Amino acid sequence: MKLQSLRGFNDILPEETPIWQYVERAAAETFAAYGYREIRTPMLEHTALFKRAIGEVTDVVEKEMFTFDDREGDSLSLRPEGTASCVRAGLEHGLLHNQQQRLWYAGPMFRHERPQAGRYRQFHQLGAEVYGLAGPDIDVEVIALSARLLRRLQLDDVQLELNTLGNSDSRGRYREALIAFLEARREALDPDSQRRLLSNPLRVLDSKVPATQALVADAPVITDYLDDEDRAHFDGLQQGLSDLGIAYVVNPRIVRGLDYYSRGVFEWTTDRLGSQGTVCAGGRYDGLVPQLGGAPTPAVGWASGIERLILLMKATGVSLPADAPHAVICTQGEAAARAAARLGESLRDALPALRLVVSAGGGKLKSQLGRADKLGARFALVLGDAELAEQHIQVKSLREGLEPAMIAFAELPSYLGGQLF
């Protein structure tokens, strides 16, 4: 049997890791700029957590989770998303009661879906979660944070879409009206939507079946069923975004795929990725903490798939900072090869930002220079036994066409620093 990765579980090879590191670094710095702190939770949780948090009649729980019984007979699942684990950790460690928390996370998630571009069985998300703040101003902040991150990643070809799901009373009134509308058209619904009609009718609005999409175009909209408090919250969210110059459109068909959302929900979408057009999404979920055993706690957050962000960056031709080595030390002679390692360490001490490769394994100088050029290095630092005896090194430009220079060891950090930084 030939060993290879599982379907939908991908290796991220060295040629790809620079763009991943770029996204992860940009996200960490953007979260820090807003005062968010990182939380890391296990990939494996009790299945009951996700059933209670996400909803038993959602696609995620019904069809997509990787679930198994352990040796003690407990049902465990690989996490399909990050919010439920954040709430569980917050409750377990006393982070939520009568407190305000701004948290962020990043890591792998797992769903048993049909693999396609931008959608894999192991995928990676980064997300923000805020607890203890109820007003629309914090909804505005988390959306502004996501907007800043997208700008940082040079992703301008996206659109912000908003909706509100109201509170439980508003949704109850809307649910009755929606069920009545759908019941009158039951036979025209696809089988999945017929099954959901009574258990989770809002999910019918999110159907991907074209005939059902056309049918629900005339369905009632939830904004007609909001109470005054819900309407004021949604108005405040829209006004706050306008105050920050963040453009948006209201889309009454956004319901999100997880049951815990309430009030404001949003999606950043693009038409550059076909069916995988949502690159970041979230909203308010005030009912989730008590649903998992905690005291009533306002909460809002979002998540974004890193694979999808990277797909969009590639589709739009985003240019990344160079990650090639600045220099490669090439050696000739046994004594020079031993000295190269010491010289490399002293250069890294003097220039912490220097990306330096010491050519290991020897070989002909021409071959070493060829490898340095293939790596994309700007300079080759050629050290032979004769140069070592004189405490000099030859600096060859591989990119700018500069004349070779013989530089003393003691002057090399300042010379390279002047050329590179």
| Domain regions of the chain by residue span | 17-167+227-315, 327-420
| Residue bearing the bigger pLDDT, 252 or 340 | 340
Nearest to 189, CA basis, from 166, 171, 207: 207
Q: Would the pLDDT of 258 be above 70?
A: no
Question: What is the domain class of 327-420 according to CATH?
Answer: alpha beta
pLDDT digits (tens, 9 = 90+) for 300-315: 999 999 999 999 999 9
Would 17-167+227-315 and 327-420 be classified into the same CATH topology? no
pLDDT digits (tens, 9 = 90+) for 36-89: 999 999 999 999 999 999 887 677 888 899 999 999 999 999 999 999 999 999
**b/e map 266-296, b = 16+ CB within 10 Å:** bbbbbebbeebbbbbbbbbbbbbbebbebee
Question: What is the domain class of 17-167+227-315 according to CATH?
Answer: alpha beta
Average pLDDT value for residue range 96-123: 93
pLDDT digits (tens, 9 = 90+) for 275-302: 778 999 999 999 999 999 999 999 999 9
The pTM score is 0.89
